[in-house]
Structure formats: structure tokens, C-alpha cells
Amino acid sequence: MIVNLKLSVETVKRLGDKAAREGQTLEGLLQNLAEHEAGASRNAKPSDVEPEDDEDRPWRGLFVLDYPREEIFAVEHEVNVNALPPLPAEIRIDARRMADESE
Amino acid sequence: MSPNDPWYEIVGPDSPLDQGDLILRCPILTWDQTKPLTVTKAGDEEFLREHIASFRADVLVFTQACDLEHHKVRNVVLGPHRPVSEIRVAWDARMREMGQTPSAKAWRRYCEDIADGYVWNQIFLNSFDSTGLSTELRVVDFHDLFTVPRDFLESLLRQRQEARLRLRPPYREHLSQAFARFFMRVGLPQPVSPAW
């Protein structure tokens, strides 16, 4: 979690010195620190992570992607169809057997 | 070889099929969904014949190890997985379809969400690098599952005579748990009122 605090004069001076030593501005240094903190917070326990707006993450939940597929029978589709085994016969009622049972 | 890799072990072609086996370019028989799937007249046999699709996919064995070991199943449940570089291409296209910018930052957040379990239907498989057998990071998708006869799959592996990767415990159970979470999730008609 990132908490914005009002920095003391002394802290600002020390950070300004650090920024000068590293050849960057104070704003740049603070930005780098904020990004570093954000990275650290991602590695924190889930309960410590500040939830973000789901609108920024439209993939959350079920996110389905269409991948390219390597078709096997794209050219020889007829071969594939003809290779199908015949479907089993439908259930048939034997009229003679029904007549026997009714007697 | 990386015999001490925590995620994977390398098994030979004669090793019995097991949960967590990664099988590359596995032949799959399924429905051709590029054609209309609405039955408009009697005779579903002919409809079925016209809608058969066959393709190759990289898959992972989902069937429980004990069911395979004790020969309790004739068919093996497989889940597809793709290299993350291919997922990136598909994700970029999907983001554009949704009117979103597929920035590097958004991609990073998407991957973090998969890793953290926020994307219910996807989970990462770690990368692996070894002499003769390596893979980049991969993403398993629970949305499409396939079944293949066990006899067919085992004979295919014997015929290929190639080593394959096998997920080690607890990574395979972690994947199994993620699939269970995806499958058993229940949506409420009305969510809890946010009185906080």
C-alpha cells in the first residue's frame, strides 16, 4: 500500500542531496521510489494489496482468447468425414415381441 | 538436463501416462465452431459429420494420477496450453477489440493477474530450459477441455519416442486446484450489499 505523507524539511533536504548525487531531480527520485514501492506491494500478502478498479483490468474473471489452431484436415476434410464410423442404430421396437408379451 | 528443476521432471517415451504430462502437438477431435451450429432440419447425424474439426494442440493431462494408475478411465482429460508469446499476440488483438490500449504496462498487469489467480480460466506453467527440451512460460486455459482415448494417447507417445515434461507435485496439484476453482465457482444473483 502506498501512503502519501507530508515530508519533513529535513527529509526533503536529504532526498534533495541524494537526488543531486544521482544526477536527477527531487521529483524524479520520488517517482522512482513510488514505482519501487508499487513493485514491493505487488509481492506483499493479498490482504495487504490495495484493490484497484476492475475497469482497468477487463480481463479479470473469465477471459477467453482465440488462439490459432493447426488444423489437421483443413485440406482433406472429406477424408476426415468419411473416416467416421457409422453411428449406432436407433432404438427399435420389435412389434412381434410386443405382441408375444401381450398374450 | 535439469533433474533438480522444482517444476518439471523429464520422462522417457515409455513412461506410463500420468497427471501433469505435457504433450505437444497432440491430435484433437472436436466440433468445428467456425460454421453455424444451429440445427435447422431433422437428421443430426449429417449435421455432426459436417461439424467435425481436427487439429493439433499442446495439452496437459488433467486426469487424476490415481485414476490413470489404477486404470479407472478409458478417456483422458486434456487442457490446452500455449507459449506466453502467443498469448501476448492474442491478448493484444482482444484488447484492441475491446477498445483498450495493449500497453506493456497493461500486459504486465494481466500477467500478474493470472499469476495471482484473478483470471479464473488461466494459469501459468513455468518455463524450462534444458539440453534438447525447453519451453518458455506457458498459459493453461481451462475454458476448452478435450478428451482423448487413453489407448490412442499412450500409443502415440510410444510411436513418437520423444521425452516429455511432467509437472511435479505440488505444482500439478496447484494446477488441479485452480481448475477445481474454475469449475466449481458459483455466481450470486445479487452480490452482498457493500455496507462498509
Q: What local confidence, expressed as pLDDT, does residue B84 receive?
A: 96
Winning range, highest mean pLDDT, from A73-77, A92-96, B7-11: B7-11
Q: What local confidence, expressed as pLDDT, does residue A54 receive?
A: 58
| Whether A53 contacts chain B with CB within 8 A | no
C-alpha cell at B183: 469449475
Residues on chain A touching B46 (C-beta within 8 angstroms): none
- pLDDT tens for B170-185 read 999 999 999 999 999 9
Specify the DSSP class assigned to residue A103: -
> Higher-confidence residue: B98 or B3?
B98
Cβ A72–B141 below 8 Å, yes or no?
A: no
- Arithmetic mean of pLDDT over chain B: 93
What is the rounded CA–CA span in Å between residue B142 and residue B178?
9
pTM, two decimal places: 0.70
Beta-ladder partners of B141: B122
> Higher-confidence residue: B84 or A51?
B84
C-alpha cell at A101: 408379451
Q: Answer yes or no: are the C-beta atoms of B26 and B43 closer than 8 Å.
A: no
Burial class (CB in 10 A: 0-12, 13-18, 19+), B130: middle
Cβ B80–A80 below 8 Å, yes or no?
A: no
CB within 8 Å of B144: residues ≥ 6 apart: B79, B80
Average pLDDT of the residues in B130-142: 92
Out of A63, A66, A69, name the one closest to residue B55 (CB). A69
- pLDDT tens for A11-70 read 676 677 767 767 777 777 677 766 655 554 455 444 444 445 556 899 999 999 988 888
A73 Cα to chain B: minimum distance (Å)? 6
Residues on chain A touching B91 (C-beta within 8 angstroms): 59, 65
Cβ B54–A71 below 8 Å, yes or no?
A: yes
Other beta carbons within 10 angstroms of residue B146's beta carbon come to 17
Average pLDDT of the residues in B146-155: 96
- Kindly indicate the confidence band of residue B39, based on its pLDDT and cuts at 50, 70 and 90: confident
Q: Is the alpha carbon torsion for B108, B102, A49, B117 positive or negative?
A: negative
| Whether A103 contacts chain B with CB within 8 A | no
Helix ranges (H only) for B62-101 are 65-69, 84-97
- Kindly indicate the confidence band of residue A85, based on its pLDDT and cuts at 50, 70 and 90: low
Q: Answer yes or no: are the C-beta atoms of A63 and B122 closer than 8 Å.
A: yes
Give me the helix-helix angle, B84-97 and B104-116, nearest 10°.
110
Residue A76 clears pLDDT 80, i.e. is over it: no
C-alpha cell at A49: 494489496
Q: Answer yes or no: are the C-beta atoms of B153 and B76 closer than 8 Å.
A: yes
